[in-house]
Structure formats: C-alpha cells, structure tokens
Amino acid sequence: MNSNKVEPRRLSLRERISKSWFPPAGVAGAFTAFVPAAHGARPDPQPASPTAEPAASPAAGQAGEPARASRRLEREYALIAVLGAKSAALPFHHSLLGIAVGAGDSIYALGDDEVRVYDSGGNVVRRWKTIARAGCIAAGPDGRVLVGAGNLVEICDAGGSRVGGFAAGDATKPARITSIKAYGKEILVADADARIIRRYDTNGRQLGLIGNQNKTGSFILPNKSLDFDVDAQGVVRATDTGRHQVTAWTIAGSPLGKFGRFGMTNPEDFVGCCNPVNLANAPDGRIVTAEKMISRVKVYEPDGKLLAVIGPENFDPNCIHIHLAVDSKGRILAADPVRREIRIFSLVARKGNEPTGELHPSAHGKLEEVTRG
C-alpha cells in the first residue's frame, strides 16, 4: 500500500559527506571567514568569467584575492584559469579526454577528436586531428606527443606529424590503453583489460611489465580504468582503485610502496567503490590524485600524508574521471570531462602557518621560491 506520510528530505550521500567535511557555507565560506575582510576575499570559488586567459595576474592579490579552492590544510590552491570552457574562443564541444604538460609547460589537451596545444599563457598555438578512439595523451620532454587509442599508440612530433606507432598488448589479447606516458626513450601504457602497465620501446617491442608483482598479479580495477605517472627517477605511481590505494613501483616492476585506504569521513581516505581514478606526479615529488563520486583533487606527500584538497565545488559531480597533469611550477591542471574544461590551480602563498591571501610566487614562474608546506 502506498503511504502518504510526508518525511523530511533525506540528504544524499554526497551532501552528508560534504557537510561533515566542510562548514555549511562550503569551502569558499570557510576561506571567507578565514581571510580578513581587508584582503577582499571573494566568496565565489569560480573565476568571474571563465576564459582562456589566466584569471589571476601578478596583481591579483592587490585587486582582489584569487578565489580559494581547497580546504584549509597544509597547502591551499586557488583556481587561476579555465581553458576550453564554453565561453572560450575555442571550446571543447563534444569531449575532453586527456591532458598533458610538455616542454616549456605547454599544455596538450585531447578532445573533440583532436590534440590542442596551449602555450603557458593559455592560448591555442597548434591543433591537429588525431586517430579514432583516442582516449589518452602524453607529452615527452623531447617534444614527442603520444596518443593512446584502443590498443594503438600513435607517436607524433611536436608539430603533430605522425612519426611512429604500434599496437600494444598480447597477440591474442590486445591492450585497452587508458593511460600513456613517456619515460626517456620508453613508452609506458596502462592496459586496463590486463590490469597492468606495459613498457615498450618506440618500435613497439615490449620491455617489461609493471604491476604484476603483487598477490593478485595485477591491479584491481572495478572501474575498468588504470591511470599512472612516472617521474624522472623512474618511479611509477599507479592507481589501484579496487584497493583504494596509490601504489609505487620501480621502472623494472618491483613494488616500492603504497598508501591509501577506503573511508567515507576522513579526507585522507578514498571514497566509494573504487578510487583514486586519476593520478599525476608533481615536480616536487608530491602526488596529485583525483576521485569520483566526490569529485575532488587531493595532494599527498609520497608517504601518504594529505597536504591539500581541491574540493568538489570545482568539478561536475558526475565526473567519473578528472584527468590530471602538473606543470613545472607545480600548478595543477585538472580536466573535467563533463563540463569539458581545463581548470588550473595554483598554490596560495603562506606566511608562517597563515595564508597571505595571494598566489604563491611559483604561480608567476619563480619555481625556486616554491616552499614545502
């Protein structure tokens, strides 16, 4: 029988978690309360007009404080620019599937069946059509651009001309590439069907496997997607979403360590069935992760200590991926595939333990001034 009893609206899971982590006014409210009014803090976490131009200039701290985007932890990040948004000169109309940072902090975005190259000022300087079913992108320090599409790897030069390519996977079981990275002359691809990372040379000869030296012989991927990054020392960090962990491996495939666990209340933990879904290494050794269900980006120490949270108000709640990249200045580039825009976050400066209300000097290109904590 139907009951006509009116019950108070039950909060959704997302609302309950959000309320338990953040004050009622949300993250922006927390910072508005935290930063003295004289600093002119802007409660709106969004930039006034999302354009391809950076929203914050060196004078941002004087004209009006940049919108703060992260929870008050050891580090804080502010949204400084949005690329490819609907209001931009060249928006992403259909898709935004990947992002990478190349030499000179050029930004490579994969979307709308093409590769777009932005300069460090956020202007599109090159674009070219890519192969069908392209799903991930990487940029090597030598200017090579790698695109993964199904089981195929396409190698292009900096101008977009195809210079090579190969099919990844076993002869009987082709790979399903969900992430790709360049390491020296090697090409690493995440094979989500085999649930391992494969190492190749540029001719497509397999050099080894990463991720098979554990109890199950593979990652556990309920979300059927594997993401990873490799740093200059050859440390590969990968998402083990079913175990709610970030795992670290040597380039030869030996396990180095892991951190992370499931949890719905502590921001250090990873929520839901399978997280983190995306990952990127920062140049200072920190690890940036992205989660679904609660769409958010977090920054960790290599040992798993949480440094910053860029909260869910910055991303579409229906994201099942937030593609990540970090430039040489430590700025976090997060590609929201639902809103189809690239959001760039920069570190907020601190004086002692207190944020000054201005962007960290690293946002303006002074990498040497990046401080820890």
Partner 1 sequence: MSEKSTRRQFIDRSCRILGFAAIGGAAGLLSHRASSNAVYQVDPGKCTACDLCRTSCVLSLSAVKAVNQFDKCGYCMLCPAYFDISSAPNEKAIPSGKVCPQDALKRRVVGRVDEEDPNNNYYEYTIDETLCDGCGKCVKACKPPMGNGSLRLEIRYARCVECNECAIQIACPDRAIVRIPVPGLSPAVGAKEDKHA
User: Residues interacting with partner 1, by CB under 8 A?
Assistant: 1-2, 13, 16-17, 215-216, 220-224, 242-244, 261-264, 271-274, 292-293, 295, 317-320
Cα–Cα–Cα angle for 141, 280, 322, rounded to 5 degrees: 120
Q: Which residues contact 296 (CB under 8 A, 6 or more apart)?
A: 290, 309, 310, 311, 312, 314, 315
| CA angle at 368 for the pair 228 and 53, rounded to the nearest 5° | 70
Looking at beta carbons only, is 64 or 317 nearer to partner 1?
A: 317
Beta carbon of residue 214, minimum distance to partner 1 (angstroms, whole number): 8
Residue among 13 and 25 whose Cβ is closer to partner 1:
13
Pairing status of strand 278-281 against strand 255-259: unpaired
Q: Which is nearer to partner 1, 2 or 172 (CB)?
A: 2
Rounded to the nearest whole angstrom, what is the least distance from the CB of residue 335 to partner 1 in the complex?
Answer: 15
Cα–Cα nearest to 12, from 241, 275, 317 = 317
Task: Between 255 and 285, name the residue whose CB sits nearer to partner 1.
Answer: 255
* Minimal distance, residue 258 CB to partner 1, in Å: 11
| CB of 15 or CB of 201, closer to partner 1 | 15
CA distance 103 to 183: 14
Give dist(CA 269, CA 5) in Å, integer. 38
**Closest-CA residue to 315 (of 337, 331, 332):** 337
In terms of CB distance, is 19 or 366 closer to partner 1? 19
Least distance in angstroms from the C-beta of 177 to partner 1 = 19
**Is residue 314 left, alpha or beta, with left meaning phi > 0 and alpha meaning psi from -120 to 50?**
alpha
**Rounded least distance, CB 104 to partner 1, Å:** 34
Nearest approach, Cβ of residue 274 and partner 1 (Å): 6
